[in-house]
Structure 1
Amino acid sequence: MVGKVRITLQTLQVLQALLDRPADEHYGLKISENSGLPTGSIYPILTRLETAGWVSSDWEDIDESAEGRRRRRYYRLTDPGARLAREEIEQAHNQLSPRASRRPDWLPARSNTGGALA
């Protein structure tokens, strides 16, 4: 089951970073780089997304000594999470983008006669 998530600009940035390659696994530092947010900002967002079922995560299985680094936690959008992420990003885009094709009802119609209103 997928729950509701508070959508902030930063949440949208994390979702967009995950949607750039929705089937891939992403680790925190890469999500930080791709979203333009500091790591301290993305982990609470990822936790909220995971708690709500939008994202799943797993630790990689490596020998840290052999690899010379700590293991990473990889995050992936769930299928419902990817769908909801696309919807939220589209909704935000529609709210922020002017709609040239849609004129408000109160705006007079344009004239074809060089400036006079019809």
Structure 2
Amino acid sequence: MTLQTQLVLRTLLETPTKARYGLELSNSAGLAPGTVHPILARLESAGWVESFWEDESEIEKTDPPRPKRRYYQFTPDGAESARLGLAQAFQGGAASARLRPATGGIGA
């Protein structure tokens, strides 16, 4: 697990039930959007997070109009998988922790 992945996970774990959009996560983690979005895609593939596009009605309320945002939040098992993955990365070094499907647990 890379340091950047750990930063994204820690940022998501600050408010584990809240959906957050990519640029918000980038700013909070102190990483470039081009770094964060591939990490979010890997976390989604592993089943740790899920994503959805915001509702059109939310965009209509903004002035000036802005592009639609894609939001990310933990799956039901994702936050626990993230906590375990971070603990494993901390104990054994970042290289030993690997993303595993949320339902299958975390392992090296």
TM-score for both structures, normalised by structure 2:
0.75
Name 1:69's counterpart in structure 2.
Answer: 66
1:17 to 2:17 alignment: no
**Number of matched pairs:** 90
Matched ranges for 1:75-90 at <5 A: 75-90=72-87
Within 2, Cα distance between the matches of 1:24 and 1:66? 21
Tell me which stretches of 4 or more aligned residues in structure 1 moved more than 4 Å: none
Within 2, Cα distance between the matches of 1:93 and 1:33? 23
Q: 1:89 to 1:73 in 2, by over 3 A?
A: same
Higher RCO (CA-CA < 8 Å; seq separation 6+): 2
Q: Which has the higher helix share?
A: 2
One-letter code aligned to 1:92: A
Identity %: 47
Name 2:91's counterpart in structure 1.
Answer: 94
SS at match of 2:71: strand
Describe the superposition over 1:73-105 as per-residue Cα deviations: whole angstroms up to 9, x where unpaired: 000011211111001112223346xxxxxxxxx
Within 2, Cα distance between the matches of 1:49 and 1:88? 12
One-letter code aligned to 1:51: S
SS at match of 2:47: coil
Larger radius of gyration: 1
Residue 31 of structure 1 deviates from its aligned partner by 0.5
SS at match of 1:69: coil
Gaps of 5+ in 1: 1-6, 97-118
TM-score for both structures, normalised by structure 1:
0.69
Name 1:48's counterpart in structure 2.
Answer: 42
Residue 55 of structure 1 deviates from its aligned partner by 0.5
